[in-house]
Structure formats: structure tokens, C-alpha cells
Amino acid sequence: MNSCSEFLLTRRSIRVFEEKEVPIDIVLKAIDIARYAPSAKNIQPWAFIIVKDRGILNKLAELHPGAAPLRRAPIAVVVLADSQASPVSYLVDGANAAMYLWLALHCLGLGAVWIQTLRNIDEIRKLLNIPENWVPVAIMAIGYPAERPSPKPRKDLSEIVFVDVFGNRYSGAKAS
Ligand SMILES: Cc1cc2nc3c(=O)[nH]c(=O)nc-3n(C[C@H](O)[C@H](O)[C@H](O)COP(=O)(O)O)c2cc1C
């Protein structure tokens, strides 16, 4: 396996972090890389809020049970997408930026987990003073990894790959 595939295959959701501060410069470096995510018409309808304030992190951690890793994370980044700037593609573009950010953090030795935002858009807007046209598409809880989770199971290629038309399964595909 080459190092690029290995890099992609070793990203994990990290939910437990060391009690160690993450320098904001490293997070900025990851955001700098995330800017290179693709977006429709290269509109780049995204913005990033770095959250360091413990009080705000704890409030975000209460959004839903799955947001609990934010209570243990020393820092987080909220990825926003501008529904006005790119009315058709903002969610996809925002997700691209969040995924690039996640991979960039992995590249820089940080652990992260994507925290769901889409059921709590208004609460998050209120908490972080986000204007109406901006949608929080992801919160990345970030820190130095304090766990090494095994890979989560993935669906078999034979279940998800079709050839030419939907339903025509390609059964010869081999997983990596
Ligand atoms: C859109 C999206 C929402 C997610 N929301 C949460 C969440 O709220 N809390 C959480 O702990 N993990 C969340 N995750 C992480 C997934 O559970 C995780 O990516 C999946 O189980 C696969 O594990 P892996 O990331 O280690 O490969 C989310 C991931 C995505 C892409």
C-alpha cells in the first residue's frame, strides 16, 4: 500500500483527547489547507470559527449526546457554508471543506471527530452569533489523540458498486 492510501485509511474519528493545549497556529495551518477543497464554480462559500472558549465548547457539547467529545476537546472548528453565495451547492461545498480540514488535521498529527450540526442549526447560530445565511455544516472537535480506535467496519464493495446502471452489481471488486 502506498503512503497516500495509508494516510487516508488511517484517519479515524478521535473522541478522546490528551489534556494538552493545541496551538492555534496548527489549527490555522489545517484551515489553510482546507481552503483548497473543491467547490462549485470555485465560490468557496465557507468560513471557519475556531472555538477555544471552554464555556462555549461546553455549551456546544450539550447540543446532543453525540456532541459529548467537545467537552474533552481543547479546541474546535465550526465549518460554515454560505447558502446565499452558493444556493445550490453550499452543503456539499461545506462538507468538502470539513472533510479537507479533517484530513489536514490528521496530516498534522491531530485527532478530530465531526460533530453533527444539522438538527441544531438555530441553536448554534444563536450561540456563535452566526448570520441567517450561514449554515453550520460541521463542528470538528480537535485535540491530540488519546485513543487509537480500530477501523470501523465498511460495507463490502460488492454491496455498493454497480456497473453502467443501478443494481448491476460488480462482484469482482477487491477491497484494499
Ligand atoms: C456528517 C457526520 C456527522 C457525524 N456526527 C457525529 C457526531 O455527532 N458525534 C460523533 O461522535 N461522531 C460523529 N460522526 C463520526 C462518525 O460516527 C464516523 O465518521 C463513523 O462512525 C466512521 O468512523 P471513522 O470516522 O473512525 O472512520 C459524524 C460523521 C459525519 C460524516
Single pTM value for the model: 0.96
Binding site membership of 174 for ligand 1 (Cβ less than 6 Å)? no
pLDDT, one tens digit per residue, over 89-144 is: 999 999 999 999 999 999 999 999 999 999 999 999 999 999 999 999 999 999 99
Q: Delimit the domains of the chain by residue range.
A: 3-149
**Ligand 1 midpoint to CA 95 (Å):** 13
- The atom number, within ligand 1, closest to the CA of 12 reads 26
- What's the CA dihedral at 35, 17, 51, 129 to 10 degrees? 100
Report whether 94 contacts 28 (CB < 8 A): no
**Ligand 1 midpoint to CA 13 (Å):** 6
CATH of domain 3-149: 3.40.109.10
Report helix, strand and coil shares of the chain as percent, to nearest 5: 40, 20, 45
Binding site membership of 115 for ligand 1 (Cβ less than 6 Å)? yes
Q: How does the average pLDDT of the chain come out, rounded?
A: 96
Three-state DSSP at 37 gives coil
Model confidence at 172: pLDDT above 90: no
Which residues lie closer than 8 Å to 3 by C-beta, 6 or more apart? none
**Ligand 1 midpoint to CA 52 (Å):** 21
Binding site membership of 13 for ligand 1 (Cβ less than 6 Å)? yes
Share of the chain above pLDDT 70, in %: 98
- The atom number, within ligand 1, closest to the CA of 149 reads 26
Which residues lie closer than 8 Å to 42 by C-beta, 6 or more apart? none
pLDDT, one tens digit per residue, over 135-157 is: 999 999 999 999 999 999 999 99
Q: Measuring from atom 31 of ligand 1, which residue has the nearest CA?
A: 114
Q: Cell numbers of 163, please?
A: 456497473
